[in-house]
Structure 1
């Protein structure tokens, strides 16, 4: 299967919401305390305006769903993804973090679309649906992610932006140029 290259299709398929699952060994009081401290730090930083991230209040002290150890979830809209990912990369300590998108294909999101910050854990995907009727919306009151009311750049604006970037990068020796436009 070739990667999508049609701009409209790529933009329509863009992932707008993500989960970060913080993992800890439920038998380790030290890891549990570190996980809760990380959650509280994320909450303080959210309040301070560093990013939008919504940790669940519940911390699972035993396996639940596909998650084989203690865990909790942090929801994040695409608008804050880079900031939250960066923060967790730098501040997770010895904890592992499962990162996956939220789409209608929950099993695929947890299987082939996932990434790990730190060591990975095997997941039990058997209870996850293959295809849901709709994209799982979380916190639509925030009007971010799939619930955003801010209009994005138009296709024409995106094309102009891409052309400008290509023109600027022509002088950069290390930057790979985009291949020629294919004419159908």
Structure 2
């Protein structure tokens, strides 16, 4: 049976960088995202965290934002590697099976850290911390 789209409660985009030069590009991209989209910008992780193979920051966004944000990110990621995945309350599957990569495909590490399922648990709220002033 196909999985219904209603299983997606939100999305995450992980913006990766590998050195100081790419971090500067990621900073510019982060500012551009904040100017254009109502999203939740996560903390900077300048060291490896969780299953991610490079330093990064996360952008959490609502289902309704996908159609404008992800195509914009495809065109404006400035060569950075980006992982986009849904939140279906199954983190392992979302990172490993349901993922969309922009740029280089990176390994997902420490897979055992990803919970098998969070189905039935309440959704983590996406609380936007941006105030867009420009159009996408």
In the alignment, structure 1 residue 34 sits paired with structure 2 residue 25:
yes
Partner of 2:117 in structure 1?
Answer: 131
CA contact (8 A) 1:103 1:135 kept: no
CA contact (8 A) 2:53 2:106 kept: yes
Q: 2: distance between equivalents of 1:136 and 1:39?
A: 25
Count of equivalent residues: 127
| Deviation digits for residues 81-109 of structure 1 (CA, Å, limit 9, x no counterpart) | 01110111011011000011112211111
Partner of 1:16 in structure 2?
Answer: 9
Find the structure with the greater CA-based Rg. Answer: 1
| Deviation digits for residues 103-149 of structure 1 (CA, Å, limit 9, x no counterpart) | 2211111110111011110011121100125153223689xxxxxxx
What's the TM-score, normalizing by structure 2? 0.84
Tell which has more relative contact order, 1 or 2 (C-alpha 8 A, sep 6+): 2
Partner of 1:176 in structure 2?
Answer: none
Report the CA distance between 1:12 and its aligned residue: 4.1
| Deviation digits for residues 136-183 of structure 1 (CA, Å, limit 9, x no counterpart) | 3223689xxxxxxxxxxxxxxxxxxxxxxxxxxxxxxxxxxxxxxxxx
Partner of 1:44 in structure 2?
Answer: 35
Structure 1: stretches of 5+ with no match in the other structure: 47-51, 143-184
The structure 2 residue matched to 1:62, chosen from 28, 47, 68, is: 47
Q: 1: distance between equivalents of 2:63 and 2:107?
A: 26
Question: If each structure's strand is expressed as a fraction of its own residues, which one has the higher value?
Answer: 2
Give the secondary structure class of the aligned counterpart of 1:64: coil
Q: CA RMSD for the aligned pairs?
A: 2.0
Structure 2: stretches of 5+ with no match in the other structure: 130-136
Give the secondary structure class of the aligned counterpart of 2:45: coil
Please identify runs of 4+ aligned residues in structure 1 that moved more than 3 A. Answer: none
Tell me: CA distance 1:30–1:108, structure 2 relative to 1, closer, same or farther (3 Å): same
Q: 2: distance between equivalents of 1:80 and 1:10?
A: 18
CA contact (8 A) 2:15 2:83 kept: yes
Report the CA distance between 1:16 and its aligned residue: 3.0
